Amino acid sequence: MTYLLDANTLIEAKNRYYRMTVCPAYWSWVQRSHGAGVVASIEPVGAELRRGNDELAEWAKNQDGLFLPVSDEATQQAFAQVAAHVASQVVVMKAGALEEFLDGADPWLIAKAMTTRDAVIVTHEQFNLQMRRKYSIPNVCQHFGVTWIDTFELLSRTDARFVLAD
């Protein structure tokens, strides 16, 4: 199983419950899990994180292996399928939602999951077929049969433990 991290899982962790100075074990866990072939993300997510001006941007700059390329033929073809699907829904979406979605990392994350054996996307976005203001990763994933979970389910599935050392 390969768990592909959405940018929001890392951003939320850094901003809220796993701040880098408060819970460095989480960030070590991400690195170890990547080394074990369990956790990854994609280059567009890495690029998004590195554009920041904070400790997460610096961390992301040192995690090149974590961010998988999306330039392979299979991912490119899957991206075209994702783009066609979301474009077919443009009439019911808020103006600009299509361009915003296609300009970001989300369609690439879904495309990479479609082409990676046993991939699961990890995101904090919610499934809501009534959403019209933006395309939601879970909504698009459902169409393509891609599984998604949140960070806490990932930690549970991988038996992650962050224990205080005395």
Q: What is the pTM of this model?
A: 0.94
How many CB atoms are closer than 10 A to CB 16?
Answer: 9
Gap between the terminal Cα atoms of the chain = 33
- Please report the pLDDT score of residue 36 as a whole number: 96
- Please report the pLDDT score of residue 18 as a whole number: 94
Cβ-based neighbours of 141, under 8 Å, separated by 6 or more: 110, 113, 121, 147, 148
Q: Which long-range contacts (CB under 8 A, 24 or more apart) does 82-90 make?
A: 82/107, 82/110, 82/111, 82/114, 82/140, 82/144, 83/107, 85/140, 85/143, 85/144, 86/135, 86/140, 89/135
Domains and CATH numbers, the chain: 2-157 (3.40.50.1010)
Helices (H) and strands (E) in the chain, counts: 9, 5
- Please report the pLDDT score of residue 128 as a whole number: 78
- Consecutive 10-residue averages of pLDDT for the chain (166 residues): 96 95 94 96 97 96 94 98 91 81 94 97 87 86 96 96 82
